[in-house]
Amino acid sequence: MPILEITDVSAGYGAGPDILRGLSLEVEEAKSYCIIGPNGAGKSTLLKVIAGLLHPRSGDVVFRGESLAHRRPDQVLATGVCFVPQDQALFPEMSVRENLIMGAYLVKDRALIKERLARVYEMFPILAERAGQDAGKMSGGQQQMLAMGRALMIDPILLMLDEPTLGLAPQIAQQIFSQVEQLKSMGLTVVIIEQNAQRGLELADWGVVLDLGIVRFEGPSEGILEDPRVRELYLGKAAGSREKK
């Protein structure tokens, strides 16, 4: 039973053209997905639509039976869908601890917040170390961990990460990936966008290739990069020209 159903969604920014053009996708519970595709394909746009930051012009987004299409972001968050954007969206002048607590903004139970905070500190010891530091002063990798830790404060069911390793050194990226592995093992449904298709697909169960606003290909992450059509699309003419030799 899919936990998230995106049906024929079209969306765009302002008065601009449709970025998503009738996109449909199903997401199964407790599985992990990696979305890849060329720039401008609509990957970030898709996540924003699911998160309620952008309203679809047509089509529907149904999460656990509820339609999210025209809800406000805070309403979407309340259903258990959590989004970590490309720039992490942290509060630079608040401390690590304050940022984490803000992650639980919608949670009323103080004891619960404390409990979750402790759990996040356990998962990400570096955050515990720097609890009092201003978020704006941390390194890229630390900020990404803070962003993920913050997402966990709301105990999400579906976690969406937009390019979590963007701009990070390989060792740090590896750390992030292992954290995501951990999240997977906790039973979360994870959807990530990853520029590094290889890595992302290693991590995920299922690969989704976006192009020009629709899902062009999807399938088990293992084989998807092998498919010549996907290679041609995603890796571009380089792959094709190499073959010519």
Positions 117 through 156 that interact with another protein (CB under 8 A): 150, 154
H-helix or E-strand spanning residue 229: helix 228-230
Task: Return the H-helix or E-strand segment holding 238.
Answer: helix 237-244
β-strands 58-63, 66-67 pairing? antiparallel
- By CB under 8 A, tell whether 170 contacts another protein: no
The answer to whether 2 contacts another protein (rule: CB under 8 A) is no
Taking the least distance from each CB to another protein, the nearer of 40 and 170 is: 40
Please state the closest distance from residue 174 (CB atom) to another protein, in A: 26
Question: Which member of 40, 66, 67, 93 binds another protein (CB under 8 A)?
Answer: 93
What is the nearest approach in angstroms of another protein to the Cβ of residue 170? Answer: 27
The reply to whether 22 sits near another protein by the rule CB under 8 A is yes
Question: What tokens appear for 220 in the block?
Answer: 């088990």
Q: What does the alpha-carbon distance between residue 204 and residue 99 come to, in Å, rounded to a whole number? A: 28
Ordered alpha helix ranges (H), 67-226: 73-78, 96-103, 110-123, 125-129, 140-152, 170-185, 197-203, 221-224
Return residues touching another protein (CB under 8 A). Answer: 14-18, 21-22, 51, 53, 72-74, 77-78, 83-85, 89-94, 98, 102-103, 105-106, 150, 154, 211-212, 214-219, 223-224, 227, 229-230
